[in-house]
């Protein structure tokens, strides 16, 4: 019987479950089908080594147990795609120094507050010692703090890849429109393609057969910026969504490329990504930001043209122009293997302090703090048990 508009379903009628357009990408039956297709496609005598660039993929792999669905000769290697993890300790120290500046409110995302700086400091500890550090959910929240506190200088500790850069550009332009003289941005936005190039420039150390590319970044920049990976380095790329079926399908597409001898940039996440990306967002980024000549990445060192700074036209909103920033290079904690993990040459369980001295409650490295960190993925989804077994062996 056809229901009248607005009529509520009867109790015995089946109710729609879950969130539309999400649950269908978490269907276990379909996941097993794709896994079977991968198992049928792989060549038993060949090893396949794919890097998932983004920490969001790493968490999807462990949250949904995808690694256990893959054949033993497929190895997923974790990449540097976590904006919290790749920020070097010196930039954390710079943010702490800004937070300790009299009259300053420093606003940042929650993960950044717990990332250790040098000598065991962090923004959280600086706040406990009296600094005014506020957690915000967006760049817009930081701008609202400046509007609400005209007698204070509000500094937004901006981090992220191309995904979070446009919102930062929006608030800087809005601050200019409002003629705010108490708002500035400590800019730490970094770029994905130069990091991929840096990894590939290390030679054949990792023996990579291809990349699972980030979808949220690609929604902004499109797929064309990855063409050099295929053209210059002969490695395939598949842009992948973050749901479990997206990741499995992307792995299947990579396996087929390798088997066919093809080297292409393919797009699994066509429901949100195209070749050109979001041109409006790109134009906004170009208006507000320019390339830094070089920028230090945790684990990867200095990478040319891999980060953004605020253009001179908006220098009034650049915290590095408004305040003295120490800008000192600081080595990581000696026991921490975050750098090697971000380069893909080690796994969390290879770190001696993983799950023992370094836990989510008492992190030593950024990879254990961040919600996209590889160590956090291992720990939170039970992979730390492997460490206990290895330690007993």
Tokens 């393609």 belong to 193
Q: Residue 99's pLDDT is what?
A: 98
Q: Residue 384's pLDDT is what?
A: 62
Buried residues in 297-306 as b, exposed as e (16+ CB within 10 A): bbbbeebeeb
Please, what is the angle between helix 165-178 and helix 139-148, to 10°? 20
Q: Residue 120's pLDDT is what?
A: 86
pLDDT tens, position by position, 310-325: 999 999 999 999 999 9
Per the CB < 8 A criterion, the answer to whether 153 and 105 are in contact is yes
Q: Is residue 5 over pLDDT 60?
A: no
Overall average pLDDT of the 227-252 stretch: 97
Residue 141: Cβ within 10 Å count? 15
Q: Residue 19's pLDDT is what?
A: 56
pLDDT tens, position by position, 91-122: 999 999 999 999 999 999 999 999 999 988 99
Residue 56: Cβ within 10 Å count? 22
Exposed / middle / buried, residue 282 (Cβ in 10 Å: 0-12, 13-18, 19+):
middle
Q: Is residue 7 over pLDDT 50?
A: no
pLDDT tens, position by position, 118-155: 988 999 999 999 999 999 999 999 999 999 999 999 99
> What does DSSP say about strands 294-297 and 301-304: parallel, antiparallel, or unpaired?
antiparallel
Q: Residue 13's pLDDT is what?
A: 43
Torsion angles phi and psi, residue 285, rounded to 5: -65, -40
Mean pLDDT (the chain, rounded): 91
Q: Residue 204's pLDDT is what?
A: 73
Local confidence band at 50 (pLDDT 50, 70, 90 cut-offs):
very high
| Contact residues for 16 (Cβ-Cβ < 8 A; gap 6+) | none
| Contact residues for 374 (Cβ-Cβ < 8 A; gap 6+) | 55, 58, 78, 82, 85, 341, 342, 347, 348, 367
% of the chain beyond a pLDDT of 70: 92
Q: Is residue 169 over pLDDT 70?
A: yes
pTM of the model: 0.90
Overall average pLDDT of the 77-82 stretch: 93
Q: Residue 328's pLDDT is what?
A: 82
Q: Residue 15's pLDDT is what?
A: 43
Pick from 97-101, 288-292, 327-331: least confident: 327-331
301 token code pair: 């060192």
């Amino acid at each position: 019987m056809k229901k009248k508009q607005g009529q509520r379903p009867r109790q015995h009628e089946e109710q729609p479950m879950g969130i539309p357009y999400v649950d269908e990408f978490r269907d276990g039956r379909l996941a097993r089908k794709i896994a079977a297709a991968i198992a049928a496609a792989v060549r038993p005598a060949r090893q396949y080594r794919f890097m998932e660039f983004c920490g969001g993929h790493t968490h999807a792999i462990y949250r949904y147990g995808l690694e256990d669905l893959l054949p033993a000769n497929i190895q997923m290697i974790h990449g540097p795609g976590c904006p919290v993890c790749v920020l070097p300790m010196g930039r954390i120290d710079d943010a702490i120094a800004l937070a300790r500046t009299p009259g300053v409110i420093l606003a940042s995302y929650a993960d950044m507050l717990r990332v250790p700086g040098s000598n065991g400091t962090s923004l959280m500890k600086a706040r406990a010692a009296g600094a005014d550090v506020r957690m915000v959910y967006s760049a817009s929240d930081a701008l609202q703090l400046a509007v609400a506190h005209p007698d204070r200088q509000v500094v937004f500790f901006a981090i992220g890849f191309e995904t979070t850069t446009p919102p930062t550009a929006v608030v800087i332009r809005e601050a200019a429109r409002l003629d705010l003289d108490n708002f500035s941005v400590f800019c730490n936005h970094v770029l994905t393609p130069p990091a991929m190039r840096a990894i590939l420039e290390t030679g054949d150390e990792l023996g990579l057969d291809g990349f699972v590319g980030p979808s949220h970044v690609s929604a902004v920049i499109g797929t064309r910026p990855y063409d050099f990976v295929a053209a210059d380095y002969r490695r395939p790329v598949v842009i992948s969504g973050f749901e479990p079926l997206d990741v499995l399908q992307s792995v299947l597409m990579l396996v087929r490329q390798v088997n066919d001898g093809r080297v292409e940039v393919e797009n699994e996440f066509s429901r949100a990504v195209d070749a050109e990306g979001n041109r409006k967002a790109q134009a906004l980024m170009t208006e507000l930001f320019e390339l830094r000549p070089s920028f230090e990445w945790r684990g990867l060192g200095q990478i040319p043209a891999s980060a953004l700074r605020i253009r001179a036209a908006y220098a009034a909103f650049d915290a590095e122009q408004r305040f003295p920033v120490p800008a000192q290079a600081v080595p990581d904690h000696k026991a921490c293997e975050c750098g090697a993990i971000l380069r893909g040459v080690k796994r969390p369980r290879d770190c001696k302090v993983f799950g023992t001295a370094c836990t989510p409650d008492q992190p030593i490295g950024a990879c254990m703090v961040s919600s996209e960190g590889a160590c956090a993925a291992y720990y939170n989804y039970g992979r730390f048990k492997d460490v206990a077994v290895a330690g007993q062996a």
